Structure 1
C-alpha cells in the first residue's frame, strides 16, 4: 500500500511545482495513456530568451489525431538536443550552473530507451530528481496493466488508479479542482488534497525574473541544495 499518490501527464522539463508534487508523494503515476495534445507542455517548455523575455524550447514529434502520449514519437533526438543546447547558450557566462544544467539535459536525452516523447519526459524528470537528490518513484501508466472500470468523467481516472494502488491520500497539482467529485473520494476513504504553491524567487541578473519557467531556468541560477530545501520546506496542502 502507498499512503500518498500523485498522477501527472509527462511534461518536458516542467516548472518547479511538478517537482514539489514529486517530493510530496510516496509514489506517482505518469499518465502517458492520455491523448497527446498539440502546443502543450508535453513536448515544449519556456526558458529565458536573453533579450528580456522568454522563448520556447521544444522537441518535434510525430503524431496523429487521437494518438496517446505513449505512442507519440520524437522525430530526431540528436537534432532536438543540439537545438535546445543552442538555445541555452545565452546563459553561458551569466548563469552560475550553466555547465551542470547542460549536462543534465544531455543525460536525459542519453537515457531514453525508446522514441516515445513519454520516455524522454520521464528521463527528464528522473535526471532533475537525481540532480536535486529527490526520490523518484513514478511509473508510466502504460506499463502498469491496471484493470480500471469504465471512466465516466475526467476526475475518475485519478480516483480509480488511487483505489487500485491502495492509496490513502491523493495529491493533485493546484489546478483542476473542478474535475473532481469530493463525495466519490469520501466514499472510497481516500483523502483528496491539492498543492498550495508559493513563488520561488531567485536572482537572474542581468535578466528579469520570469516566474514559472522550465525547471532548467531555475537550476541555471540556483544551487541545487537551495532548490531542494525550498521544495521540502514550502510545499503545503489544501483540501
Structure 2
C-alpha cells in the first residue's frame, strides 16, 4: 500500500518508542502510521514497567505476562538487561495464553511465535521483545521498517530532545510521531528549529468482544488478535490516518 501521497515523497516520518513486551494496540498504531520505526533501546531500564510485562484478558479478568529480568544494577541500559531463565515462566505463559483464548481460532500462530522465541532463549530482553514486535507487525501486514537507537551514536551531553534529534537525523526524518506523554517533556521548538516536525499520538481505543462481561482496554495486542483475528486488526489499521495522507 502507498504510505504517502506523491507530492510528499521528500518527507519521512519515524516513530521512536522503547521496546515493550507484547505491546498494546496503540503501539502498533504508531508503527503503522510511520515510514520507519526506531526501538529506543538505549535508555535506562525501569522496573515494574511495560518493558518486560503486559496483560491479557482471561475470563476472570486481566492477568500479567511477565518476563523475569536479572538484577544488573540501577544504571543498566534497556538493551543490556538480561532475562532470568531460572524459573519456568515461559511454559506457564504459553499455558496461560492457551487457556485464556482456548475458543479463539486466531491464537495458534501467535503461540507458535512465542514458543519459537522462548526456545531460542535470547540472553537480552530486547532480543526477545524486539523480534516479537517485528514478527507481530508482519503478522498484521504492517509495512514499516525497523532499527534500534543503540546503533545511532550518542553525544555524551545529549538530553532527551537532543537524542530524538540525533535519531531523526540518522534516519533522514523530517517528522516524528511520538506518544501522547511526550507533550510534557519533548522540546518541539528545538526540533522544529532543526527541521524536524512533531506530531503526538491522539489515540482512541477501539472496543471489541472480549473475554468476560466487562471490556478492559490497553491489553496486549494478543488480546485484540485473539478476539478479531489478524484480518480484523488489519481492517482497523486501514481505517486510521497515515502519515502524508492529508498532504
Same fold (TM over 0.5): yes
Bigger shift: residues 74-83 or 180-189: 74-83
Larger mean Cα displacement after TM superposition, 90-99 or 206-215: 90-99
Who is 2:14 aligned against?
5
**In structure 1, how many angstroms separate the alpha carbons of the residues matched to 2:34 and 2:59?**
35
CA 1:43–1:148: 2 relative to 1, 3 Å: same
The answer to whether the 8 A contact 2:188-2:197 is kept is no
TM-score, scaled relative to structure 2 = 0.85
- State whether residues 95 and 204 of structure 1, in contact with CA within 8 Å, keep that contact through their aligned partners in structure 2: no
| Unaligned 5+ runs, structure 1 | none
Match of 2:228 in 1: 222
Q: Who is 1:84 aligned against?
A: 93
Partner of 1:185: 191
The number of residues matched between the two structures is 233
Instruction: Report the equivalent of 1:60.
Output: 68
What is the match of residue 150 of structure 1? 157
The higher relative CO (CA closer than 8 Å, separation ≥ 6) is in: 2
Question: Is 2:80 the partner of 1:74?
Answer: no
Gap change, CA 1:118 and 1:101, over 3 Å in 2: same
Structure 1 residue 165 displacement after superposition? 2.5
Distance 1:70 1:231 in 2: 29
Q: State how 1:24-39 maps to structure 2 within 5 Å.
A: 24-39=33-48
Q: What is the 5 A alignment of 1:77-156?
A: 79-110=88-119, 114-142=122-150, 144-148=151-155, 150-152=157-159, 154-156=160-162
* Residues 183-229 of structure 1, C-alpha deviations (whole Å, 9 max, x = no match): 11221121111122111221115443211101111111112112012
Q: Distance in 1 between matches of 2:136 and 2:31?
A: 11
- With the length of structure 1 as denominator, give the TM-score of the two structures: 0.88
Which residue of 153, 158, 166 corresponds with 1:160? Answer: 166
* Structure 1 stretches of 4+ moved >3 Å: 107-112
Name the structure 2 match of 1:202: 208
Equivalent position SS for 1:88: helix
Q: Deviations over 1:77-111 (max 9, x none)?
A: 99332121122133243333232332232244356
Q: 1:41 aligns with which of 44, 47, 50?
A: 50
The 8 Å contact of residues 20 and 235 in structure 1, kept in 2 or not, is answered as no
- Give the stretch that moved more between structures: 3-12 or 226-235: 226-235
- Matched residue of 1:42: which SS? coil
CA offsets 1:1-46 (integer angstroms, 9 cap, x no match): 8711111111000100111111111112111111110001010001
